Structure formats: structure tokens, C-alpha cells
Amino acid sequence: MTVSAKSWASRLAPYRQSDDRRAVFELLLTVSAFVACWLAVYATLQFNPWLLPIPVVLAAGFIVRLFMLQHDCGHLSMFTNRRMNDWVGRVLGVFTFTPYDYWRHAHAMHHAGSGNLDRRGMGDINTLTIKEYEALSLRGRLAYRLYRNPVVMFGIGPIYLFVFSQRLPLESFKQGTASWLSVLMTDLAIGVCAAIIIYFVGWQAFLLVHLPIVTVGAAAGVWLFYVQHQFDETHWERNPDWSHENAALHGSSYYDLPAPLMWMTGNIGIHHLHHLSSRIPFYRLPQVLRDFPELKDVGHLTIWESLKCVRLVLWDEASKKLVSFREAHRLMPLRMAAAE
């Protein structure tokens, strides 16, 4: 690409305008669809449990979309008014099991240091370099391998994160009053809403309906976040070679999903543009690609290609790419020879 990343950041500025009418429409549509799908899961549970996967997957898809709306609120790109963004984001946090103010702070740190090897560990997937991994004890290596195992990363991990960890994240107490108050108020609101629903449908039906939806939605959300930065052509650097624009454009993928999935996920697959200019509302990202089709070739990732990203677990600073455990082991003799 001949145009620099910094030049692209300035060229995308005109797309950073929020449309309140469009935002209200997207919000009402998504909330209504989620509630309808939730009720469909409940009705299916009563009449034909064998058909449950269909409404559960649909409801999980809409809870992912609600999270993407909350995500745009966190970037102040959903509405033109900051207070409207914040309060809508807080309400949506009850649906998504995500305390808005706490999450917004962690996510801002992710954007500020994405692709920076010297600023890892806040709001992202924990990724070690080969050298860091080899310096670990046997227990440390086993723990990292367990953490990066697909069953943990996309199964157990999302459930732990959304159902348990975010109920009382200890980091929130270090971020100030707004952060921990957001956690406590979100938990209280979740409890009140759950109690009301349980009053009408019973606790067993509530758990049988809501837990599968949250579980599938959480797994899908973590998968999306994973492939947005853990892919073959991703870009990582250390200070002072790191720059926000290069990391945004080349360290984030363009996850080219089919149109229905792209709509359901709030266009978050167009992640390289989102990181390059996070104030662009999600509903304007496709327009950017239509106006600048050359951006479709940057960090392009298909569904099939994304499945291969699961094996990428360590950063090789020599070749500047992600590698598998097997590849890291194969490269060990070369690293030892270079060190002599």
C-alpha cells in the first residue's frame, strides 16, 4: 500500500459523524430482536427442546450485537451526545453482563497499546514472545499452554469472564470510583432483572434459557476478539518503533464475514478501520470500504483462514510473526546458534 497509515487516519476523518436517528433505530431493532429471540427460546423449551439450538444461536447473535452497540457507546461514536453514549452503554451492560465504565477503561487501554510489545496485558489476549515463554518454569509453560488451549480460550474462558470474573473484577478498585461503582450497579441491575424474570418463569427455566444464550454469545465474542489481532499477518513492535497508526492498520484484521454475520456482529470484522479511527460509527464502516476498496486487501481474513489462527500462540521477534508451539520448538536450534 502506497498511502501511509497516518495519511489514512486523516482521510477517514469525515466518516466520524454520528447519526442519532440511525443509532436509535439500531438500538431499538437489536433490543427488540433479542427479547423476541429470548422468548422464542423459552417457548421452544416448553414445546420442542430438540429445536433449542436454533433460537439459542439467534439470541446469542443478538447479544453479541448488543455488545457491539455498547462498544460503540464506549468510543462515543454511537450518539452525538456523550451522556447518551454513556447511559445507553451502562444499560446495555446489563444485557451483556459487562460493567460499562470498567470495560471502557480497559478497552481504551487496549486501543492505546494494541500491537505494542511493551504494553501488553490490558484488555487483550495474553500473548508471550518465544523468549518469554522459554524463560518460564515448567508450571508457567503448562499454565500458558492451558490458557491458549482452544477449549479454554473459546469454551471455559468466555463463561468465566462474562459470568464470574466481571461480577467483581479486582482491577476495578484500582481505576477509581466510576469503575467499581459501574461493576456494583451492573451486578445489582442484573440481579433485579433476573429476579423479575424468575418470578414469572421460574429459576429452572431462566437458567435453561439464559445460560446457553450467554455461553454461546460469550464464546462468539471472544472468538471475534481473538481473530481481530491473532492472525498470520498481524503487526507487533516494541518502543520506539511502534506507532498507533501502523499497529491499527496492519495489526488488526479485516474479518471478511458473509453479509448476515457482518450485520449481526455490528461490522466489528472491519477491525483495521475501527482501530485506525475508533470514532467512526459501526454503521459507517462498510461505506469506508466501498469508498476505498483498496483497504479490503489489508489484513484480509476469511472464515476458513481464521480457523488456522488458533494455532498461533507465540510471537517470534526474529521473524516478526506469530507461530505455533511446534514452530517455536523447531526454531530453537536457530535461536541457540544465533546466541552463540
Per residue in 30-71, pLDDT (tens digit) is 999 999 999 999 999 999 999 999 999 999 999 999 999 999
DSSP letter for each residue of 185-253: HHHHHHHHHHHHHHHHH-HHHHHHHHHHHHHHHHHHHHHHHHHTTSSTT---B-TTT--HHHHHHHSS-
Q: 137 lies in a domain?
A: no
pLDDT of residue 329: 87
Q: 139 lies in a domain?
A: no
pLDDT of residue 295: 92
Helix ranges, the chain (H)? 5-11, 20-47, 53-74, 82-96, 100-113, 130-134, 138-148, 150-151, 157-159, 177-201, 203-227, 244-250, 259-264, 271-276, 285-291, 303-307, 325-330, 332-339
Q: Can you tell me the distance from the alpha carbon of 340 to that of 338, in angstroms, rounded to the nearest whole number?
A: 6
pLDDT of residue 1: 43
pLDDT of residue 271: 96
Q: How many domains is the chain built from?
A: 1
Q: 318 lies in a domain?
A: no
Q: Can you tell me the distance from the alpha carbon of 252 to that of 255, in angstroms, rounded to the nearest whole number?
A: 9
pLDDT of residue 311: 95
pLDDT of residue 337: 52
pLDDT of residue 2: 46
Give the structural domain span for 115: 5-121+149-305
Listed in sequence order, the residues at least 6 apart from 34 whose beta carbon sits closer than 8 Å to its beta carbon are 59, 62, 63, 65, 66, 95
Angle between helices 82-96 and 177-201 (to 10 degrees): 50
Q: 261 lies in a domain?
A: yes
Measure Cα distances from 141 to 138, 203, 218, 330 in Å.
5, 41, 26, 17
Q: Can you tell me the distance from the alpha carbon of 157 to that of 298, in angstroms, rounded to the nearest whole number?
A: 30
Q: 211 lies in a domain?
A: yes
Q: 128 lies in a domain?
A: no
Q: 311 lies in a domain?
A: no
Q: 173 lies in a domain?
A: yes
Contact present, 87 and 78 (Cβ < 8 Å) = no
pLDDT of residue 42: 97
Low-confidence ranges of the chain (pLDDT < 70): 1-4, 333-340
